[in-house]
Amino acid sequence: MMETKIWTSSELSAAVSAIKAGQLVSFPSETVYGLGANAFDEVAVKNVYAAKGRPSDNPLIVHVADIEQVSDFAQVNEWAEKLMQQFWPGPLTMILPVQPDALSETVTGGLDTVAIRMPDNDVTRQLIRDAGVPIVGPSANTSGRPSPTLATHVYHDLQGKIAGVVDDGATMIGVESTIIDLSTDQPAVLRPGKITPEELAEVLGTDVISEVTMKDASAAPKAPGMKYRHYAPDKDVYMVGADEWADVLAWVDEQDQPVGLMMPAQAMAQHNVADAWSLGEDVNSAMAQLFAGLRHFDGQADVKTIFVADFVRDSTHAAYNNRLLKASGGHRATELWTD
Ligand code: TXA
Ligand code: MG
C-alpha cells in the first residue's frame, strides 16, 4: 500500500509531479472531489478504474483548463461553443463526438463520444495547466458510495490506493455536474445538476430533452454510469415530504435505536429537533449537505435508518431529488406505517 498524502493548495507542485509520473491524485472542484490521472496515460487511467472498483464500461469525464484544449480531442460544434462561453468554468459536462484516435477506449468506454468539463476551481485548473495534459476524473469515491465533498471523504475511501488529495475545503455545490449530450440532433440532459435544462435551452435557443422527466424509466440510460447503483450508504434511507415530519418523529419515538435525521432548518425549528443533520435553508444548501450527511450517519454503527427531506418536483430541485432517489432506492418514510 502506498502512503496517501493530503496536500494543501500551496503544495500543488507535489500533485503535479504525481500526475506527470502516472500516479492518481484527487482534486477539488465546485461539484465533488474528482479522482485525477493523465488522460493520455493508459496505465494511469486503468488504475483509476481499479482504485474506485468501477466497471470498465463506464467512461470518464476529461477535465480541461482552457477551452482551446477541447478541440485537441473532441469535435466542437456551435452548441458547445455557446455553452462553454456561458457556463465554463462551471458544473456542466458536455458530450461531444471524439476526435478519431485522440483518446483511448479506456477513457471513452469504446464510445465515439467523450465527456468534457472545465471545473470552476482555480487550484485544479492550475494542476491541469502545470501537468500539461487533460485529466480524467470520476468522482473520487469507492464505486457505489456517495460522492466526496470533503478531502476526508476521499481519504476514507481511497487511502493507500492513490498518491494524494489536494485539499481545498468543502465543495460548494455538492452534487455532480449536469451532463448534456450535444452529439445528436437534439441536446439532451443525461444527468441533472445545478444547471437546469431550462437554463441550457435558453442559451442554446432550442429545446433540451431531459431524461429525468421521461416517463419510461426502464429505457436504457444514455450515460452508462446512470444504470449502476449510486450514492448509496449501507443503511436504509427513506425520503420524507415536507408535511410528513410529524409522522416520522412519532415513529422514531417508538424505536429503541437511534436514527439519522436529515432535515431542512425550517422543519428542525418547527418540530423542535436539535440533533438532526441540517440541510439548511434551501435546495442549494441541501445539495451541499446531502452526501456529507449520508456519510456521517453511515459511519455510525448503531444507526440503521436515515430519514432525508425531499423537495417538491421541479427542475431546480431535480439534481437533489435524483441523488436522494438513488440513495433511498425510491423508498418513502410512509411505507413504514402504511400497509
Ligand atoms: O461533477 C462531476 O461531473 C464530477 C467531477 C469530479 O467533475 N465527476 C463525475 O464523474 O461525476 P463520474 O465519472 O462519477 O460521472 C461521469 C458520468 C458517468 O455516469 C458516465 O457514464 C458518464 O458521465 N459519461 C462519461 N462519458 C460519457 C459519454 N461519452 N457518453 C455518455 N455518458 C458519459
Ligand atoms: Mg461518480
Handedness of CA 95, 101, 103, 106 (dihedral sign): positive
Question: At 169, is the pLDDT very low, low, confident or very high (cuts 50, 70, 90)?
Answer: very high
The CB of 224 under 6 Å from ligand 1? The reply is yes
pLDDT over threshold 80, residue 47: yes
Q: How far is the CA of 249 from the centre of ligand 2 (A)?
A: 32
The CB of 144 under 6 Å from ligand 1? The reply is no
The share of the chain scoring above pLDDT 90, in percent, equals 89
The CB of 31 under 6 Å from ligand 1? The reply is yes
**Confidence (pTM):** 0.95
pLDDT value of residue 234: 77
pLDDT value of residue 338: 80
Looking at every residue in the chain, the average pLDDT score rounds to 93
Tell me the average pLDDT across 252-276.
96
Give the tens place of pLDDT for each residue, 68-93.
999 999 999 999 999 999 999 999 99
Question: At 147, is the pLDDT very low, low, confident or very high (cuts 50, 70, 90)?
Answer: very high
Q: How far is the CA of 147 from the centre of ligand 2 (A)?
A: 6
Residues 6+ apart with CB under 8 A from 307: 237, 238, 240, 248, 252, 259, 260, 261, 262, 263, 333
